[in-house]
Structure formats: structure tokens, C-alpha cells
Amino acid sequence: MSHRLRVRYAVTRSAEVLRLLDRYLVEVVERYALCPWARTARERGEIAVGILWGTPSLNTWIAEAARLLAQPTIRVAMVVAPELAVQRDELAALRDRVAARIRSAGVAEFHPAAAPDLTTPARLVPFLRRSPDPLLQLVPLALIDAVRRSPPAPALAHQATMLSGHAASPPGDVADRIAITNHATVAAAHQEITAKLDDIAADRHAAYRRVGIRITGE
């Protein structure tokens, strides 16, 4: 394969990963107002996405996350591993290791396998983070601290909880109220949201087979 064809092949693969992530953000997160801040961040170009192929090492995850966070206009860094075979608990453990090395940011894990659990708002979070591919999302702690020091706009409060991985927050604050609102939203529309997520998953399977991205379990 020529160099030009290899570059074109790599671009095509990356484009499919980004397209599917965009579907999740627009058709699920934004469509159901799970994160009011998400649309503004996307439209302003404040989200940086990095793609890691195969089974990345811990150092590779850390280096890519640091590279994305170093960009001055970026408020959220998303590091995606489309070929990674990983269970939810394993991804959570990876999140902890990355967070221990990048202390300037809150880290949250997103995983494609999560059924809706409407028992409590906290138990619903994995379903809300049912992204097409395993990914880690990082938000600078300075931004989170700024949100918590001032009366938070709903969008930024949601950012601090949904995107940073910080589960703990003062009882009764805006973030808690938004989590409760999300719980009510999903309780009313969980079948519709599940169908949309299933459609994105089917799209992923077909697209990745078409462009040669290794699919977990095959």
C-alpha cells in the first residue's frame, strides 16, 4: 500500500470514529438535554478528541490526554480507544490510574455497555455515558473549581459532574438538581434513548467492518 493510500485509509478510519462520537453527543446528549453545556462547547470548538488504536499503554493514554489538555481553548479532552477490548470495571480502573498521573483534571470513563438503571440518579450515570467506544474524558480542575466558587450556570454545573468524573458534590447543589432532572428525563424516555443508542451501536458495527477497524469480540 502506498503512503498516500495509507494516509487516506487512516483518515477514513478516524473520520468514522469521530462521526459516531458526534452522533452520540448530538443525538443523545444534546437531544435529551443531558448536558446543557455540551452543544455550546461543541459549537465553539472547545472539545478536543484524540484516537488511540489497538490496546494503548497507560503512558500512551496519559500522553494523549496531556496533549489535548495543553491546547489553550480546550475545556474538555476526550481520548477514544475504538479497538480496545475492555470491561466497564477495567476502564474504571484505568480512569483511576490516569487520574493519579494527571492531577490537574477530573477524569470520567465512558463505556459502550451499560443498561439503564433507574433506581437512583447515581446508578443511571453509566447509561448516560454509553458512548460508541470506550473513552476517557478530562476536564481541568481549575474550571471545575471556578464553577463551584460561583453561582453555577446549569451547563457548567453539569459539566463538573458529568464530564469531570467528580461524583461528590455538596448536597442539594445545582449539579444534584440537574442529575435529578436527567433521571426524570430518562425515566420518561428510556426506551427511545435506548433505541437511539442501539442504532448508533449498529451503525458502528457496520462502519467499522467497512473501514477495517477491529471490532471487539470478532
193, containing H or E segment: helix 174-211
CB 160 within 8 A of CB 147: yes
CB 36 within 8 A of CB 155: yes
Q: Report pLDDT for 137.
A: 94
pLDDT in tens, 102-157: 998 989 999 999 888 889 888 888 999 999 999 999 988 776 655 555 554 444 44
- Domain limits, the chain: 3-208
DSSP assignment of 51-67, as one string?
E--SS--HHHHHHHHHH
CB 112 within 8 A of CB 77: no
Q: Report pLDDT for 41.
A: 86
Q: How far apart are CA 96 and CA 37, in angstroms?
A: 25
Q: Report pLDDT for 173.
A: 55
CB 18 within 8 A of CB 50: no
pLDDT in tens, 61-86: 999 999 999 999 998 999 999 999 99
Q: What percent of the chain has pLDDT over 90?
A: 56
State the sign of the Cα–Cα–Cα–Cα dihedral 178, 184, 188, 194. Answer: positive
CA 188 to chain centre: 23
Work out the mean pLDDT of the chain and round it to a whole number.
83
Residue 158 pLDDT exceeds 80: no
Spatial neighbors of 109 by CB under 8 A, at least 6 apart, are 88, 91, 92, 94, 95, 129, 134, 135, 136, 137, 165
SS3 (DSSP) at 218: coil
Q: pTM (2 decimals)? A: 0.83
